[in-house]
Chains A and B, each alone.
Chain A
Amino acid sequence: MSVLEVRNIEKHFGNIQVLNDISFSLEKGQAIAIIGSSGSGKTTLLRCLNLLERPDGGQIAVDGQVIFDAADLTTQRESEIRRKRLHFGLVFQNFNLFPQYTALRNVMLARELLAQEQEGFKANKRAILQEIRAGAEDLLTQVGLQDRMDNYPHQLSGGQQQRVAIARALALRPDILCFDEPTSALDPELTGEVLRVIRSLAERNTTMIIVTHEMAFARDVADRIIFMDEGYIVEEGPALEVINHPQKERTKQFLTNFSNQ
């Protein structure tokens, strides 16, 4: 069974239809890369999955359970949306770290707040917080920032900030981790360190959706690639196939323009 099933998602802003009949599925442990020119709806799709935007049509199912159905208001209760968001993690293009917290606190904060809601938190407060802290330290070590845990975001380079953001998203153990052009806001010499981290996540079979303009990276790291254009999925297939032997004219054009740049 797929961990994620997206069925017929539609989204419009005013008169503009931004997503048209978007359907795809994702297997556990797989990575999908989404490519496509600017304005094709990639960010909007990720925002719909994370329920930052409400799709106008379609369904989202995680582990076979429908978490959102545009036609069924009972799946859209504000009180439940918060919990449902936890199925997904999102790494933003511009990091969005919390500036007043250190790298370590950025990673710990959300888990602490969730732990406080659990029964028995008061009784085991010490042990729980200790465990959250240890987990956050592990994650920061995993992204290569063991020496930077006590730095504030403004003391870190863009690449380091994005790695903190990845650790922060991982801390909640989402079923599916989404990346929205994680290296687009970085100087070219800093993209490598972030891509390496994502690559190592793929090697550990982290389930991911990666929106990216790094074609070689998408080809090497993703299992499948989705090419989007003007709100439609134009082509979807195994990563190597789509990059090396695109079937659709529009995909060929896009890839040619890309390699000519």
Chain B
Amino acid sequence: MFMTVVGALNVGFLQTLKLFLVTLIGALPLGLVVSFGSMSRFAPLRWLTRTFVWIIRGTPLMLQLLILFYIPGYVLESGSPWPGGESGRFMASAVAFIINYACYFSEIYRGGIQGVPVGQLEAGLVLGMTRGQIFFRVTLLQMIKRIVPPMSNEIITLVKDTSLARIISLQEVIWAGYSFLKGSHGYAGLLWPIFFTGVYYLLFNGFLTLLFGWVEKKLSYFR
């Protein structure tokens, strides 16, 4: 029985992991684009971006998932744009997560970029450096150093937030654990698999905590 449950939970966790990774791959660069928008010198773009970020950060991700997954099917003549089955649920989840997390990341990036004193840029300019050289050789690492602690918090939150995709029945690890309560693989009424899903989160987040701790330590040689 144990192996059956663990096998099913592994399959679920693979889906969790996939959503996590796809969200990172999409949201890390998109967040940078959004942060540039929110710092634009062109006021309309700046306010549009900031309003969008405000809406996304001010409403629950669960609501965004529901809206993105179900509403297009009601309003579009062509019906739901999402393919049927698990792949459609995954696509909708990934899009919602990427948009949501890009907005959170953008605020962190903005803090990191604006947190580097303007004197660093000016010192580089006075020394005859180009803006590109100043960015890559001087300010980038200082931004990364500032960004790592808040990013690690956000990314650990993302690991746990992936479970929200269950609201549109994405078959992630908690979905898999819960299925043994209702009946699955010939078992029903099993309570412990639900608890056991927690072990997956704990181990994975433990690993991420160590990883980010290592990165922070690597960057601690300067202030």
Contact = CB atoms under 8 A, between A and B. Distances in A.
Contacts of B133: 113
B86 interface: no
B137 A88 contact: no
Contacts of B120: 96, 98
A52 B223 contact: no
Interface of B: 117, 119-120, 122-130, 133, 137-138, 141-142, 221-223
Interface in A106-148: 109-110, 113-114
Contacts of B119: 92, 94, 96
B222 A99 contact: yes
Contacts of A94: 119
Interface residues of A, number: 27
Contacts of B129: 110, 113
A90 interface: yes
Contact of B128 (A92, A100, A110): A110
Interface secondary structure of B, over-half rule: helix
B137 A114 contact: no
Given A92-B123, A96-B123, A152-B222, 19 more contacts: A50-B125, A52-B122, A52-B126, A82-B130, A83-B128, A85-B128, A92-B119, A96-B117, A97-B123, A98-B123, A99-B223, A109-B127, A109-B137, A113-B133, A113-B137, A154-B223, A168-B127, A169-B127, A172-B128
Nearest to A50: B126
A89 B141 CA distance: 25
Given A92-B119, A94-B119, A152-B221, A100 B141 contact: yes
A96 B129 CA distance: 14
B221 A85 contact: no
A153 B120 CA distance: 13
Nearest to B118: A96
Contacts of A89: 126
A3 B119 CA distance: 27
Given A98-B138, A99-B142, A152-B221, A110 B127 contact: yes
Nearest to A81: B125
B223 A92 contact: no
A85 B137 contact: no
Contacts of B124: 110
Nearest to A154: B223
Contacts of A99: 142, 222-223
Contact of A86 (B117, B123, B128, B137): B128
Interface string A147-158: 000001110000
A118 to B, nearest CB: 13
